[in-house]
Structure 1
Amino acid sequence: MNRPTVGPILGYTTPHHARIFLRGATSTDYPVFAGIRHRKRGEQLWSAGVYSKLNGEYDMSDTLVLDNLDADSPYEYQAGWFNTTHPDHTPETVAKIALEWPETVYTFKTASTERNRVRRYVVGSCRYLRLTLGVPSAPELGDAIFSAIQSLAARQPLDGLLMVGDQVYVDDLNIVAPDRDYPAIAHKYRSAFSQPHIRNLMSGTPTYMILDDHEIEDNWPANQSSADKALYQNALRAYEIYQCSHGPALERLPDGKINRKVSRYWYSFADGDSDWFVTDCRTQRILSGSDKRMLGVEQENALLKWLIQSPAKVKFIVSSVLAFPDLKNHGEDGWKAYSTQRTRILETIRSNKIKNVMFVSGDIHGSLTSQLRHSQDPDFVVHSIVSSPLCNSKMLPYAKADNLILDEPLATNTAGTYKASMISRMISEDNFACLTLQADQLNVDFHDKKGRKIESVTIALR
């Protein structure tokens, strides 16, 4: 067997199952299969392998499922791909072949069913990796911060890695040499996800992703033109293969395999006393008219229902676009342009007295923590945690505190006004956030690209 050309990426992980993405390589002559086997750490015998036949429709990749696992338990696994000389082989028949597995042994831990156990998540966005003539230029710059995250995880194990937008920049050379065809976009994903440090981190940390605009085009869909139809289709095809495929948005079929037919990008998942709702802020927008919205009707209704019904102590809403405060120069791209829908969400939280709601965002190339309060409801407070960028481009500026609108209400209606305020400084450098949920507080620690803690905020839970 051969080492995966991309991956393995450990995706959605529960107490009893784990989804693992990997990619093989094209063979013009023979069928290609991927395989994974696992064992509990400390055991000698490997499980029977799980196999999948790879094909070009999914860029020679698949997400395989490890099932019937024990909760809160460490596991080891091996993963690879191989081709066969018999054209009629199936995943069932290749299971009978004596295979020589790759030497690399990966490790992960299943989720815990204990609700009150400490949970720790790393959040990041906007990871710039430039390609020049198809080759990453100074890739160590875009990969170094993942080494710092891995070092943190070695000291303080992570329950999840949330990558909340702009994992790739399809449009990084949009003026002189835009990537519009599928092979070029897929090559960008393969380059971004196969760098050594991010590869090592994602192989053993449950990784959850959602797209933002640069997975398609800057400020999508506001800047789209009639010539962008093929770009959109190609960009979303690549997104579905490399980001969506190993997450909770895809359902499992009766035979336990992943249904690769994508119906939506937004999703939710639960982990102990924290619930996550990851929104799709890009592909369902209605840009004008009486029902202007960032989230589609079904998605908004699902979000509001989740907010009301979730039993978790802390509810994280991932919005790749900054939820609040508003930016002065975000124009039609930010939530300010969809304020009616945002106010409906905030009013649902306030009127139902929902506690401990945290909006988690990226996008702006600056990191911060803020809070939102209501003029007539002293019990209402929600928080915004922003983590961006993991790696900036020299061509793009970092956000600064004076880019934010803090001297006027975020929204006003008959019930009163919502007003945002900072509870941290603006961080204008490459960084990531580590969220630690324990007892009655959420600690938000921002780390620079070398892993040094540069800002900390403690949010008291109610």
Structure 2
Amino acid sequence: MRVNPLTIGPIVGATTTTEVHLWGRGEFEKTQLGCKRCLGIARIKKLEDSAFGTGQFFKLNPNFDMTGVTIFDHLDPETQYVFQIGWFFSEQSYSEIPDSLRINWTQASTGEVTTASADLQAPRQFIFGSCRYLLRLFLGSLFDTRGDKTFQTISKLLGKNHAINQFLMLGDQIYADDLNVIGADTRLDEYYKRYRQAFSQPYIRQVMSQIPTYMTLDDHEIEDNWPAQSTPKDYVTKYPAAIHAYLTYQASHSPLFPAHEKRITGIPDRLWYTFSDGCCDYFMTDTRTERHLATQRMMSDEQMEALKCWLKDGSNRVKIIATSVLLFPDAVQGNDDQWSGFPEQRRELFDWIFHHKIKRVVCISGDIHASLSTELVSPDDSDFKIICVVSSPFFWPYPHPTSSAFKLEGTLEKSALATYNMANASEPYRSDNFTLVKVDLDKVEVNVFPRKAEQLKPIRTKVHSFT
């Protein structure tokens, strides 16, 4: 039996000290009774080992666009592994395939992964960004390779710097609404097609096969500024289709899904999740689907309480809050779609951090089609500080905002507890980019790379201290 290369993927997903989730897509072939049974198979080994372990079978589900996830466990911490993964058509279920089956792996897809560190103080590095635009026109597809050049640069950087630990994609991985003008997607098959187009370009596939990749969604996975223009009909047509496609392509390989016997199970009742590696704890928020515009709540009370408890858990590690929309700075002209449009809940978060004297808080976000870093401080407590790093877009073929679009100085918020001021802002970078963040228990180093960094050198570097 020959293993075929994945049609999309592989994606290295949730990775702990002992476990890794691998995602891939097979092929759909219609039959008179439905479609052919398509199975995935993967195997893994330490980089230095001569032989792979036994192949591990998993189902590629037509209800999830012929995709699936398999989980390898009992791995060693901070160890480099390589893997092979692919698919084949089968008359048998994976539990019925005999151990004696001869398997040809020569055409299988390949990838690599380094497991998380067991040292809870180990410095970490991660790359993040958001907003990679692809335009579909005239009932067909019109794409170029400009957006994938960002991932080509990231792939080169991964080859040069093997100490990069995660890749975070903070929303607008697809633009399902085509600038809210032409051919907006509304059906599940349309959303699936959009993801296949976005995730099949060669360099994004290469990046996601080399490094643990974590995602959260923003508005364009559904429609522009969701749910500002939503209708009751949208919640029973467009929204379920968009979220099903999001779960299939972005969330299924995350820590969101529970695992059982090396497979993911169940359907999650929320879209936010957490994970940790070395000195960093991450909270991947959902700042899009839980919004309640009438009461100005960016997220549900449940998510806010979980975020507050996570911040106050006493780990003393770096607390990285990932949010698809900007926590701060604010736009000069105002923007109700960002955290500034939900002031009460933003003050609630600031006051919680201030009151409980929580240190080493970093917020990362995308959305604004510019990159910068800045700090939030308070004259009421010299030890209070939140560092915010923004990185966007991976690719946007239209004008980017000017530096004057953002309030980078002065008072941001006042509450009954404290005054919160902007400080130590970098000059915004106004072109396509991604950001490499280096973190230890003392500081955050922010390195902004342009889409095409020929010398693999950052165009901007800024260091923010936690003290």
What TM-score results when the alignment is normalised by the length of structure 1?
0.94
Alignment equivalent of 2:246, drawn from 239, 244, 250: 239
Alignment equivalent of 1:267, drawn from 266, 273, 282: 273
- Which sits farther off after the overlay, 170-179 or 3-12? 170-179
C-alpha deviations, 1:109-157, integer Å up to 9, x for none?
1112123333110011001122345665343111001011111111212
Alignment equivalent of 2:88, drawn from 82, 96, 99: 82
- Which sits farther off after the overlay, 39-48 or 141-150? 39-48
Alignment equivalent of 1:50, drawn from 38, 52, 56: 56
Preserved CA contact (<8 Å) 2:72 2:262: no
Structure 2 residue 306 is matched with structure 1 residue 299 = no
- Alignment match, 1:387: 391
Matched residue SS, 2:302: helix
- Alignment match, 2:411: 409
Cα distance in 1 for residues equivalent to 2:84 and 2:68: 15
Matched residue SS, 2:53: coil
Preserved CA contact (<8 Å) 2:373 2:426: yes
Alignment equivalent of 2:198, drawn from 169, 192, 199: 192
Cα distance in 1 for residues equivalent to 2:139 and 2:85: 27
C-alpha deviations, 1:91-117, integer Å up to 9, x for none?
452654222122543222111212333
Cα distance in 1 for residues equivalent to 2:377 and 2:362: 13
Deviation at 1:45, TM superposition (A): 2.0
Preserved CA contact (<8 Å) 1:139 1:195: no
Structure 2 residue 171 is matched with structure 1 residue 165 = yes
Alignment equivalent of 1:143, drawn from 148, 155, 158: 148
Alignment equivalent of 2:256, drawn from 232, 249, 254: 249
- Alignment match, 1:66: 72
Q: How does 1:172-211 map to 2 (within 5 A)?
A: 172-211=178-217
Identical counterparts, % of pairs: 35
Alignment equivalent of 1:346, drawn from 346, 350, 354: 350
Preserved CA contact (<8 Å) 1:143 1:198: yes
C-alpha deviations, 1:8-58, integer Å up to 9, x for none?
000111111100110001123431101101111122222111111222111
- Which sits farther off after the overlay, 356-365 or 54-63? 54-63
TM superposition outliers: structure 1 runs of 4+ over 4 Å:
133-136
Preserved CA contact (<8 Å) 1:277 1:303: yes
How many residues of Structure 1 are paired with residues of Structure 2 in the alignment? Answer: 455
- Alignment match, 1:25: 27
Instruction: Report the AA paired with residue 339 of structure 1.
Output: P
Alignment equivalent of 1:420, drawn from 419, 422, 433: 422
Cα distance in 2 for residues equivalent to 1:9 and 1:310: 32
Q: How has the CA–CA distance of structure 1 residues 46 and 133 changed in structure 2, closer, same or farther, with 3 Å as cutoff?
A: farther
Q: How has the CA–CA distance of structure 1 residues 310 and 247 changed in structure 2, closer, same or farther, with 3 Å as cutoff?
A: farther
Cα distance in 2 for residues equivalent to 1:134 and 1:150: 32
- Alignment match, 2:463: 458
Instruction: Report the AA paired with residue 124 of structure 1.
Output: G
Cα distance in 2 for residues equivalent to 1:312 and 1:65: 30
Unaligned runs of 5+ in 2: none
Instruction: Report the AA paired with residue 151 of structure 1.
Output: K
Preserved CA contact (<8 Å) 1:423 1:457: no
Instruction: Report the AA paired with residue 75 of structure 2.
Output: L
C-alpha deviations, 1:66-111, integer Å up to 9, x for none?
1111111111111101002x2x433452654222122543222111
- Alignment match, 2:444: 442
Unaligned runs of 5+ in 1: none
